Chains A and B, each alone.
Chain A
């Protein structure tokens, strides 16, 4: 079964600092999804990465995909408190009939 591993699982950082969340997956896939979940809320789509080398940026977040390494990164630049949330990556199965989410990275940005 396809496995999706995120690290770190917990991340506490100061405002203004940079950090990267990593998402590894265990099978070939050329698409990767990032979602954000605020406490007690549902998931919100952040990025859809559809090919090797894809890079997308929105505000202080930038996501990239390396399908050969089976790795996606979510880079946070100059973190602010509003970015505190849990971030999930997800991939779909080879036949697009199943979806696999990582365990999530709980980010806490301290003022």
Chain B
């Protein structure tokens, strides 16, 4: 497809389990972003990758969260020992060039994560 693809679209898991969320950006897009959106709220920035590098990881909510990107393409966001407050929609976006160029971000449909 031509857009940003995220999987799974929905994930229900028990508290304490680890989850892995995947994002396939638009082909050729060098910048990739992860956000979290809680019900009825705005977007909380988590992390940004330029190529395979994340210049600033301080947006990740806790050390249970980690993210990586390989081959300048696919990215995974991993949450270890999930807690109920981790329940949210996790959105991935990509842009053609680095943010300093000033381009819009193209968003995927998100992964709806529910922690029981």
**Which residues of A are in contact with B by a Cβ distance under 8 Å?**
31, 33, 35, 41-45, 48, 50, 88, 90, 92, 95-104
Contacts and interface: CB of A to CB of B under 8 A. Distances in A.
Contact of B100 (A43, A45, A48, A96): A96
Contacts of A102: 42
Interface residues of B, number: 26
Contacts, number: 58
Interface of B: 33, 35, 41-45, 48, 55-56, 58-59, 91, 93, 98-100, 102-110
Contacts of B35: 99, 101
Given A33-B104, A99-B35, 12 more contacts: A42-B91, A45-B105, A48-B104, A50-B102, A88-B43, A90-B43, A95-B56, A97-B99, A98-B56, A99-B33, A101-B35, A104-B41
Contacts of A99: 33, 35, 45, 48, 99, 105
Contact of B59 (A43, A48, A98): A98
Contact of A41 (B93, B102, B109): B109
Contact of B107 (A43, A95, A100, A103): A43
Given A33-B104, A42-B91, A43-B91, A101 B45 contact: yes
B48 A97 contact: yes
B104 A42 contact: no
Contacts of B107: 35, 42-44
